[in-house]
A and B are shown apart, each in its own frame.
Chain A
Amino acid sequence: MSLLEVRSVDGQYGLLKAVRGVSLTLEEGETHALIGANGAGKTTLLRVIAGAHRPVSGSVVFDGVDITRIPAHKRVALGIALVPEGRRLFPGLTVEENLSIGAGRGGGGTWTVDRILEVFPMLRQRRTHRAATLSGGEQQATAIGRALMCNPRLILLDEVSLGLAPIAVAAVYDSLRRLIGGGTTVVLVEQDLGRALGVASRVTCMLHGEIVLQGASSELTRDQISAAYFGVRPSSGVGADP
């Protein structure tokens, strides 16, 4: 049984149809890259999975249970954590408080504040500082750590390399590999195609709210992906949507 099934989800932002008829299946332990131009609907889709956005139609099934009506805070307990776009830390709380606020909500798991600080050593000296005083990259690292503290079975990462120095991006992707090795299922939205394809086993490309390409990253060529990005239908593609 797949860990996550998204079935024909439609998502709306005001008058804009941000997600149209999107279906997706994730196996446990899989790493899935969600790519596409800005405005393609990737963030909306992640938020629908996390429960922060109610779809207009369609359903989300997690571990065999229909969670479409379950609110976001209860999905955390089920094992879904989202690292949201835009560094949504709690500015008045310290780094340590931001991290520990996620603790004990998910299932059993091994992430602790000390382990997070091992993965992101730049945060060590900022441990007791208020999040509002952190630099952009430090905030990003804290946001990732906060989600990890929920010990999720499925972690959704929305552009985590944004604002991080190359060396920090390498550290994040290193820790992602450790996550993957440990069996956590990962969905990541990432603009850096090289990074995304380097770590993901499967890829979904979105354009104008629809899926235009889906398949194993090893089987898709760079040309196919570029074409999907820009809206050129590939003549013969693996898993291309008609």
Chain B
Amino acid sequence: MNWVNVLLQGVLLGGFYALLACGLSLMFGVMRIINLAHGDIAVIGAYLIWVIVNQTSIPPWLAALLVLPMMWVGGYVVYVLLLERSRRAGQLVPLLTTFGLAIVIENVLLQVFSPDDHSLLSSTGTLATSSFSFGGLSISFFGVFTLGTAVVVLAGLQLFLSRTSSGRQMRATAEDPDAAELVGINARAVYAKATAIAVAIAGLGGIFLAIRQTFNPSTGPTQLIFAFEAVVIGGFGSPWGTLLGGIVLGVAQVIGAQVNPQYFVLFGHLVFLAVLASPRGGILARRGRAL
């Protein structure tokens, strides 16, 4: 068994988890909302691209470019209609609201589509299955593409937050929405934008999900768990933490599979629990800040 290969597979898998986790991390970081519907929203993205590709002659890459703006708008709608009021009602209410949203999404998908598995695998041709050789290893092209996309998205998010005026407003609102209003920031608009970004990235994760595996209306919750574990392992508050968390999770899972194919998910859970129990919290956990 080639450990280098195992590590590599884990890293590539981690790229997917990081991409999936990004939106979840953003929503929690900015609004302190744990979006229990996150996995299901990603699955909506998967269904959207599947429908476009299968019902029209639009090629997958173009379909992806259509799905993202749709998800963006959907994010605004979710915030304005649901989350705005929930957020003001207290800490627990958004949890319940997103939990309810998850159930609604799953059942609507079940009604509209059947419980059958779907996948974009057949439509993407060799993209998902081709690999190339490097140093005696066989590396999945799509895996590298996923990791690369995750890195680009996370780097973009980091730059957005740290370098742009809009990102700075988002950071300020995350820390003190009341004081942010006093310096002219429209906190509602900031939260809506954060939700839109989070949902759009979740949709992107869903597109990659659709290509790499099969999905059905109940695929969402499992994706939520992986995303959540990646965020916690990496520590809240930093896009790079999310990347690291995803990779650690991916590597743990692949190592688990080497030990015994049934231990795939288990090893991920064990690492997650170990991180929770450790004094540091996440790997890149932010130090407490009270003012």
Contact = CB atoms under 8 A, between A and B. Distances in A.
A and B bound? yes
A91 interface: yes
Interface in B171-189: 171-172, 175-176, 178-187
B188 to A, nearest CB: 9
Contacts of A71: 181, 186
A101 interface: yes
Interface string A66-104: 000001111011000110100111111100010011100
A157 to B, nearest CB: 13
B171 A102 contact: no
Interface in A121-167: 131-132, 139, 146-147, 150
A52 B181 contact: yes
B277 interface: no
B291 A93 contact: no
B87 to A, nearest CB: 16
A34 interface: no
A60 interface: no
A89 B182 contact: no
Interface string B56-77: 0000000000000000000000
Interface centre among A100, A101, A150 (most CB of B within 10 A): A101
Given A91-B291, A92-B289, A139-B291, A101 B182 contact: no
Contacts of B171: 90, 92-93
A43 to B, nearest CB: 13
Nearest to A87: B291
Contact of B179 (A77, A90, A132): A90
A102 B184 contact: yes
A73 B189 CA distance: 11
Given A90-B172, A92-B171, A101-B168, A76 B291 contact: no
Given A87-B291, A101-B168, A101-B169, A93 B175 contact: yes
Interface residues of B, number: 20
Nearest to B289: A91
Interface string B269-291: 00000000000000000100111
B183 A132 contact: no
B182 A50 contact: yes
Nearest to B187: A73
A73 B184 contact: yes
A105 interface: yes
B155 to A, nearest CB: 19
Contact of B182 (A81, A87, A139): A81
A114 B291 CA distance: 25
A11 B182 CA distance: 18
Nearest to A146: B183
Nearest to A50: B182
A164 to B, nearest CB: 17
B115 to A, nearest CB: 45
A134 B291 CA distance: 10
A84 to B, nearest CB: 6
Interface centre among B171, B172, B179, B290 (most CB of A within 10 A): B179
B182 A72 contact: yes
Nearest to B173: A90
Interface centre among A52, A84, A90, A100 (most CB of B within 10 A): A90
A92 B187 contact: no
21 contacts: A50-B182, A52-B181, A71-B186, A72-B182, A73-B181, A73-B182, A73-B187, A88-B176, A88-B291, A89-B179, A90-B171, A90-B176, A92-B175, A92-B286, A101-B183, A131-B291, A132-B290, A132-B291, A139-B291, A147-B183, A150-B183
User: Top 9 closest A-B pairs, CB basis?
Assistant: A76-B184, A105-B184, A88-B179, A72-B181, A91-B289, A91-B291, A102-B183, A90-B172, A73-B181
